[in-house]
Amino acid sequence: MRRRHFLKLAAATSGAAVFGGVLTPRAARAAAKPQTLNLLYATAEADSEAVKLILPDFAAKFGIKLNLETYPYAALQQKVFAELASSSPHYDIMIVDTPWMPALTRKLEPLTPYLKEAKFNDLTDPNLKDFIPAAFYDSAVYQPVKSYLHFPGSPAEVDVAAIAKEGFEIYGLPIQSNVLTLAYRKDLFADPQEQKAFQDRYGKALKVPETWDDFAVVAEFYTRPDKRLYGTTLMPGTGDWATDDFKTLLACWGEDGHLVTDKFDLAFASPAGVEALAYYADLIQKRKVTPPGVTSFSWDDVTATFNAGLTAMAMNYHDMKLNPDVKGEVAYAMAPKKAGYGPHFGTWILSVNRYSRNKEWAYRAITWLTAGEAQVKMLEKQLHPTRVSVYQKAVADTALQNDFGNFYDVLGKSLNVGVGRARLSNYSDVSKAIAVAVNNAATGSQTPQAALNAAVPQVREMLKQAGYPVANG
Amino acid sequence: MASPAVSESLLAEPVPAQGAAEKSVRADMVLGWSLVAPALAILLVMTIAPAIYLLHASFFNFTLLNPDLKRFVGLENYAQVFADPTIRNGFFVTLMFVTIAVGLELLIGLGLACALAPRSLGNNLASTILLLPFAVTPVVSALIWRELLNPNYGWIDYYLQRIGIIGRPIEWLSSAPTAWVSMVGLDVWQWTPFVALILMAGLQGLSKEPQEAAAVDGANLWQTFWHVTLPQLRPFIAIAVLLRLVEAFKTFGTVQILTGGGPGRSTELINLTLYRVGLQNFQIGAAAAVGIVFLILLSLIVSQLLQVLGRNTELLG
């Protein structure tokens, strides 16, 4: 080969390589079909058993083996961040939790171009309009540079054109939604003796509380420490769960339930925030409707306590199963309201690794894994679906009703009104500071006002440290 | 002694001979360095280079995910370490925890060692059982303790109530004092046997003669222990304390699971803060500054202890 020919060939090869790296999905389409795709996933937090159930179907349909690797929550975040920080192409698809997203927009492949291109959707219809809008916009739609912004308004359905027009991108497709729901002992509420006793004591009928005022009264009614029964459990232990409880109340009290607004106003420390936290602390300190040790509880303890039959009500992110020695029945309701509803929610999405060598097929896999048909099958293993149509099927399914009662009905309704988190790259820091305030108020070591006031300078400093344009208070 | 012929040749041709000696020395040096080189390379790659990177990182504001947005901030991260009350609290809680936990482990461990040092079948059996707590994975032991301490169905409150010591359940993890008791109690339960075994080995290796001499001189048991046995045991105590201090400063998993740093921030060790800043927020610069300050603090304490250890070893020798 002559030198000139060699140089031409080299130039052409490197040119192709360069353009191949920067071209949009149109070029990626030509990528060869891989034999395997690697999927990094959570464990029980996002119902990995449900995904395992449909892996053989994926292999049969696409002729591609989907390697599933699961990690428990704490390890998963480090794994996802470490893989992306090192620009590793190993995992083609990654599961991403909502609070991580603000830090990851530069590391995940925007899916909007793929969604717009029919050629990439030939095997599965992504049918975006079927996704629950609130969950979709909260978890998957981000502004690439100003990742702290939420998509404006409350769109009635997912609209790719509107998303692009506002300068936002879609970074994944939702696969599992968690939202705070109220579980209660149906047998206790249906008991005629309980109903009569409640009527005699309060002069009104006993029913599952729909408002926070009623919640406090009903919790008080069922609190009988001598019989080892308490009204409700909460989760004010020092952790994310305390913040979740509080932000639910904050939203119900009419404030911005994200805790920190998109303009970096500290909504959590507003008068409504103080009132909401005072209500929460009173349930524990004054009304004493919670079991001993509640101020160290996480959602795990809530599950264990309710399942052991120690409480009449409990709020959690998943369905509950009473222990075999507890004779009773569980049903679900939406977490109560005040000015409005505001249950905390968070949704797991499946995203394409920006450094994957199989982006096109990773995208196809995501659309298939999150499609209605796949989600219906995954219901068998307790997936919390993200599509309206799947909830409709779940509610009509008698086998699911036998296993989970009205859980899916309540889950679907709650997702429609759920409130997500502030979009901060250091959300865990901010959440921790607020959780400490909630915990201090719950234990009575500080007043709600003092606890929230103590968190204000900490959160403000954290926001500054993360580079957000926060004003001095 | 060199032969006269050799001496003459050395005198006659001093330059080549000196050159040969130098060559020999140089060859020895090359051989020496080449033997040490692998260890040095490992030390450089595994310890010194990361430490230099850590120091370098501590002068920047950057996250691991977006290293291109890295910004030089000088000593700002260090100023933040000393200005942030939550970080200062973390250092204070850590120092308190290490002091109390290791102190208790030493006292109880010494008592156990004295009781179990005489060789007998019963003591051998007891020593074997003693191994069990520190054979349990720390995270598992924390999970078990959390269940045991649950005021609603945990064994500890249940039996304390059954035998009439308490009237109603203690909410162990809900108030700062009881959370501290739980946190320190778990560490003491898990690591006292380790201290006891080191001290027991020390006691069993001590010469009997000084003790017998003390007895002949009329010393009672306490005087013998205080003036004869304990001074001899000091090197072992120093080793046990040194090893425990280093491990106790690294405590993370057990406290993260048992208390999560709560209630409030009352049990938030500095390692929990480091984890949040470094491995949840990936703010490498800020985490590096905390790490460097922690490293300096640890180095000061450990170097002091090593001096004590050295002094006592000389005493023994």
First-last CA distance in chain A: 72
Selecting from B153, B176, B281 the residue whose C-beta is nearest the C-beta of A426 gives B281
Q: How many CB pairs under 8 A join A and B?
A: 106
Task: Give the global pTM.
Answer: 0.87
Tell me the CA distances in angstroms from A380 to A47, A374, A397, A401, one per residue in order: 11, 11, 11, 12
Tell me the nearest-neighbour CA distance from B55 into chain A, angstroms. Answer: 19
Selecting from B65, B264, B282 the residue whose C-beta is nearest the C-beta of A436 gives B264
Asked whether the predicted pLDDT for residue B254 surpasses 60, the reply is yes
Report chain A residues whose CB lies below 8 A from the CB of B259: 238, 296
What kind and span of H or E run contains A389? Answer: helix A388-396
Spell out which chain A residues touch chain B, with contact meaning CB-CB distance below 8 angstroms.
77-78, 81-82, 84-85, 103-104, 106-107, 228, 237-239, 291-296, 298, 301, 304-305, 308, 310, 425-426, 428-429, 432-433, 436, 439-440, 443, 445, 458, 461, 465-467
Give the nearest chain B residue to A427 (CA atoms).
Answer: B281
Tell me the nearest-neighbour CA distance from B267 into chain A, angstroms. Answer: 11
Contact B65 A78 (CB under 8 A): no
Name the average pLDDT for chain A: 92
Query: Helices B14-43 & B4-12, crossing angle to 10 degrees?
Result: 90
What kind and span of H or E run contains A465? Answer: helix A448-465
Q: What is the mean pLDDT of residues B183-212?
A: 94
Interatomic CA distance for residues A1 and A24, integer angstroms: 34
Place of tokens 């998303």: A163
Q: What is the pLDDT of residue B17?
A: 65
- Per-residue pLDDT reduced to its tens digit, A247-265: 999 999 999 999 999 999 9
Residue B268 near residue B90 (C-beta atoms within 8 A)? yes
Q: Which residues of B167-187 are buried (b: 16+ CB within 10 A; e: fewer)?
A: eebbbbbbbbebbbebbbbbb
Amino acid sitting at position A139: S
Place of tokens 């994926």: A58
Least confident of A14-28, A318-332, B137-151: A14-28
Report chain A residues whose CB lies below 8 A from the CB of B60: none
Tell me the nearest-neighbour CA distance from B250 into chain A, angstroms. Answer: 19
Tell me the nearest-neighbour CA distance from A170 into chain B, angstroms. Answer: 20
Distant-in-sequence, close-in-space partners of A387: CB < 8 Å, separation ≥ 6:
A127, A130, A131, A132, A370, A372, A375
Residue B81: CB atoms within 10 A of its CB come to 23
Interatomic CA distance for residues A185 and A117, integer angstroms: 49
Q: What is the mean pLDDT of residues A162-185?
A: 97
- Per-residue pLDDT reduced to its tens digit, A174-213: 999 999 999 999 999 999 999 999 999 999 999 999 999 9
Q: What is the pLDDT of residue B317?
A: 42
Tell me the nearest-neighbour CA distance from B179 into chain A, angstroms. Answer: 10
Tell me the CA distances in angstroms from B216 to B206, B208, B212, B231, B278, one per residue in order: 18, 12, 6, 19, 62
The residue among B310, B26, A442 whose CA lies nearest residue B18 is: B26
**Among A81, A84, A296, the residue to mutate for chain B (most B Cβ within 10 A):** A296
Write the DSSP symbol of residue B45.
I
Tokens of A53: 């159930």
Interatomic CA distance for residues B192 and A402, integer angstroms: 52
> Sorting pLDDT into bands at 50, 70 and 90, what band is B312?
low
Cα dihedral A162→A101→A143→A317 (10° resolution): 40
Kind of pairing between the strands at A141-142 and A181-185: unpaired
Contact B169 A294 (CB under 8 A): no
What kind and span of H or E run contains A69? Answer: strand A65-71
- Per-residue pLDDT reduced to its tens digit, A81-133: 999 999 999 999 999 999 999 999 999 999 999 999 999 998 899 999 999 99
Contact A305 B173 (CB under 8 A): no
Phi, psi of B255 (to 5 degrees): -75, -35
Contact A293 B176 (CB under 8 A): no
